[in-house]
Structure 1
Amino acid sequence: MTTDVIALTEGMPDPWSIMAALLAGGPEPGVRTAGQGAVLQLCDRDGAPLVSVEAPLRMGVRGEAERLLGVPVGNGTGWWTEIRAATGVPGAERLARAVAGRLTDLLGGAVWPPGASGDVPEAGGLVDVSDVTAAEPPGLPAVDVLTGQAAVILQDRPLIAMTSRLSEALRTSADADRGLQIVTPGHSRLSLPTRSLLTGPPTRWVVRDERCGYYDGLSGAVLGWRDGTFAPVADAHGRALVADAFRQVDRSGERQLVVAFRTCLPASEDLVLGGAVEAAWRTLTGAPPAGWGSAEPAGLPWSREEATSLARHRSPRPTWCVVVGAPDRPAVATVRVDRTREGVAEDVTLALGYAPGERTPVEALPELADTLASRHGLRSLVCHLRPARRDLSVPPRFEAPPVPLAYALGPDGVRDNGGLAHAAGAPTAGSPLRVGPPGRPGLYYPLGDGSSHGDGWAALERLTRHLRGAGRVTA
């Protein structure tokens, strides 16, 4: 298996300190670069990689390391350096720990995990690897098992974050028409950004289970290794099997408010992105976001200007990023920026976590819709309430589906769905509220209070059927 060790240092790991840390493995191994110079690798005499050290990440957002690792880490700021031990190589994990330990000796800080890590099997015990291709082919990040159908990564962390390594593996796997399959022990959870990018087979979250072997952490389907990929296992009658571990329902009383919306503004030289997600954060939490990044950890302090600069640099390709809040108010958003014929579109999904009995700011949703429609080019918005973990992580077990709370259309959305008279005549329990510019309003549709799953979805279905009768429904 690939064993991940993280050096959380107070000082910046410069090239000299990283080289000194690599030499902690002894004089025998050699050093080379990979990943277009972003990764340093400690290699054996034959050139096979033993340990890979990724480029350090600045941690300028308090609480982000604790969110991803599950334990308090110093003052929560500093530098995050990922160090990977190669799959199935005796002594590689010891070398990785030696490198991490040397970095923290030189720069101050701590090594994660503090003790030995286990529970995820080595690749040789995981599957029949007779059809595995060569490790680390050009352009593909390190994986544990590589076949013509799937790139498999084994991870044993409390939270599987969408790191730069995982993001690159997802992209290159898709380019090669492979599925990315992440294998974890049963105690691991996914971050919401990781969950949002695991879009279905052949890309999967594979959970190791003592009773059934493996199952899909998002659907519960029992999985087996067949023809170079993890795929569902059927019973004698051809019916899909569901793992018992997946059926364990959490009734903690914790909840999540999920707000998903799309905006579009005309492209211009002075356009600054991120205004919509910041407005949503301020409306629902009373404060701006704390940080952002193009992967997790989102270690950069929140800056609309820097996020805009990244999107300009990547244009016309889309830009995807993560936005996070302060530790005392769990909030995570994903933002995708696209250049379209109409301008620059931003698709935002913002989730906020609440403890049992904690008030959710449902009453602020009309204000949010009005702000987005007035200032940020709102096209559509949908809000849900769901029973789920306050920390916004995704466990490998059944979670009840969300309950729709509200739907909204911006002025252009109203135009595209039959005009104001038709859109305002939708059969909803309460009259829609006008939001946005008075002369060209959008509409906000309340769908319920989130207490009844059936009523909320029935109200949304009636609304969308009415709108679909005259135009295109956006969500």
Structure 2
Amino acid sequence: MSRSAFALTARMPDPTSLLAALHAGGPDLRVDRAGQGAVVRLCTEDGRQVVAVEAPRYIQVPGEAARLLDPAVATETPVWWTEVRAASAVPEAPRPAASIAGRLATLLDGTTWPRETAAHADVVTVAASGEPAPALAVGDDVLTEADMLTDRAAIVLPDIPVIATQWVTHTRLGVEEHFTLAFGHTADNLVPLDHLPHLAEELAIQHHLATMVTEVRAARPDLTVPAHYEPPALPVSLTFGPGAIADTGPSRVEETLPDTPVVRLGPTARPTLHCTLGDGTDPAAWRRLRHAMAHLRVAPAGQAVCGPPSG
């Protein structure tokens, strides 16, 4: 059964129908919020996330639901799209997710995907594991789809594995937040390096990115660490947010890296600079990175590691 179930309804889910659907997902589960209220989570008494129900989205483009899900999905436009995601860490989670989507579709004149989800509208029960699990604080908007959470890390298991860690340091200038993200990619799922400029721009504008180093390394795609040697990561890009280059100016960065492609992103007055250091196979990228950091005197505050599989 799919890890996510979708309810495609003609009417917008209201609080009454949503409560009825959540009850079908498990009367013994407690309700929690995440993503600044945009996500409703059902958790066991020990804090394990079982399902996450995202805020409904209004789809008005004809054929968009079929394009995103399956050509066999037949819905009239416009339609309300509600995704119910089952946590991969809970084996029995797909059934309550299917029950929630099925109940929404029944109450709101809709359909579900996968189609077999419609047959699961009965109330189900998920027992607690007995092991306490860290819970997200109300209003947290980071990694609301995480399957496993610790004090400093979140892990997303299905499709492309993701591990994220966060730590905070106090400096003479204030508080710094440091993040490291690791994504696992298989041989048939190439590392999307062409998306890095867009990601860099969004992080800088929306999340006040200071600096970011992106690296690629040959490793296991499931992000586990084997007991044998693996080659080191190779940097592929270096990103400076507007605040990181406020003193030196963007022209100084471009002059320091004359042989490195530098793209200006975001507002002209406060641009973000995205510097391409290599393609993940060129060891000379380390020299370019050291040269940039030495001359610009800026320490990287964020890092994203994208790992293709080892041979």
Classify 1:321/1:400 alpha carbon distance in 2 versus 1 (closer, same or farther; 3 Å): same
Structure 1: stretches of 5+ with no match in the other structure: 1-9, 14-54, 66-72, 84-162, 165-271, 279-288, 296-319
Q: How does 1:35-50 map to 2 (within 5 A)?
A: none
Deviations 1:11-70 (A, max 9, x none): 979xxxxxxxxxxxxxxxxxxxxxxxxxxxxxxxxxxxxxxxxx93424252125xxxxx
Q: Does 1:357 align with 2:188?
A: yes
Residue in structure 2 matched with residue 50 of structure 1 by the alignment: none
Residue in structure 2 matched with residue 58 of structure 1 by the alignment: 48
Q: Does 1:377 align with 2:208?
A: yes
The answer to whether the 8 A contact 1:334-1:348 is kept is yes
Q: How does 1:122-201 map to 2 (within 5 A)?
A: none
Classify 1:353/1:434 alpha carbon distance in 2 versus 1 (closer, same or farther; 3 Å): same
Q: Does 1:430 align with 2:256?
A: no
What RMSD over aligned residues (CA atoms) do the two structures have, in Å? 3.2
Residue in structure 2 matched with residue 386 of structure 1 by the alignment: 217
Residue in structure 1 matched with residue 67 of structure 2 by the alignment: none
Structure 1 vs Structure 2: percent identity of aligned residues?
30
The answer to whether the 8 A contact 1:435-1:441 is kept is yes
Deviations 1:139-184 (A, max 9, x none): xxxxxxxxxxxxxxxxxxxxxxxx87xxxxxxxxxxxxxxxxxxxx
Instruction: Select the residue among 261, 271, 277 that pairs with 1:441.
Output: 271
Shift of 1:444: 0.9
Query: Normalising by structure 2, what TM-score?
Result: 0.53
Residue in structure 2 matched with residue 142 of structure 1 by the alignment: none
Classify 1:424/1:432 alpha carbon distance in 2 versus 1 (closer, same or farther; 3 Å): same
Shift of 1:357: 3.1
Deviations 1:166-221 (A, max 9, x none): xxxxxxxxxxxxxxxxxxxxxxxxxxxxxxxxxxxxxxxxxxxxxxxxxxxxxxxx
The answer to whether the 8 A contact 1:337-1:344 is kept is yes
Letter in 1 for 2:88: G
The answer to whether the 8 A contact 2:88-2:158 is kept is yes
The answer to whether the 8 A contact 2:186-2:221 is kept is yes
Indicate the SS of the match to 2:213: strand
* Alpha-carbon distance in structure 1 between the residues aligned to 2:235 and 2:209: 19
Letter in 2 for 1:411: P
Shift of 1:458: 1.8
Structure 2: stretches of 5+ with no match in the other structure: 1-25, 30-44, 51-85, 95-125, 302-311
Q: How does 1:441-460 map to 2 (within 5 A)?
A: 441-452=271-282, 454-460=283-289
Indicate the SS of the match to 1:364: helix
Instruction: Select the residue among 222, 226, 233 that pairs with 1:402.
Output: 233
* Alpha-carbon distance in structure 1 between the residues aligned to 2:213 and 2:181: 11
The answer to whether the 8 A contact 1:337-1:345 is kept is yes
Letter in 2 for 1:355: T
Shift of 1:439: 0.6
The answer to whether the 8 A contact 2:162-2:181 is kept is yes
Indicate the SS of the match to 2:278: coil
Q: How does 1:223-372 map to 2 (within 5 A)?
A: 274=141, 289-291=144-146, 295=150, 320-325=151-156, 327-337=158-168, 345-372=176-203
Letter in 1 for 2:188: G
Query: Normalising by structure 1, what TM-score?
Result: 0.36
The answer to whether the 8 A contact 2:237-2:276 is kept is yes
* Alpha-carbon distance in structure 1 between the residues aligned to 2:192 and 2:242: 24
Shift of 1:408: 0.7
Letter in 2 for 1:436: G
Instruction: Select the residue among 392, 415, 419 that pairs with 2:249.
Output: 419
The answer to whether the 8 A contact 1:435-1:444 is kept is yes
Classify 1:474/1:360 alpha carbon distance in 2 versus 1 (closer, same or farther; 3 Å): closer
Shift of 1:463: 1.7
Letter in 2 for 1:79: A
Asked which structure has the greater CA Rg, the reply is 1
| Length, aligned pairs only | 191
Residue in structure 2 matched with residue 266 of structure 1 by the alignment: none
The answer to whether the 8 A contact 1:424-1:432 is kept is yes
* Alpha-carbon distance in structure 2 between the residues aligned to 1:358 and 1:62: 22
The answer to whether the 8 A contact 2:213-2:300 is kept is no
* Alpha-carbon distance in structure 2 between the residues aligned to 1:64 and 1:428: 48
* Alpha-carbon distance in structure 2 between the residues aligned to 1:391 and 1:293: 14
Residue in structure 2 matched with residue 463 of structure 1 by the alignment: 292
Instruction: Select the residue among 128, 135, 141 that pairs with 1:79.
Output: 128
Letter in 2 for 1:473: A
* Alpha-carbon distance in structure 2 between the residues aligned to 1:463 and 1:429: 11
Larger relative contact order (Cα-Cα within 8 Å, sequence gap ≥ 6) = 2
* Alpha-carbon distance in structure 2 between the residues aligned to 1:63 and 1:392: 16
* Alpha-carbon distance in structure 2 between the residues aligned to 1:78 and 1:455: 53
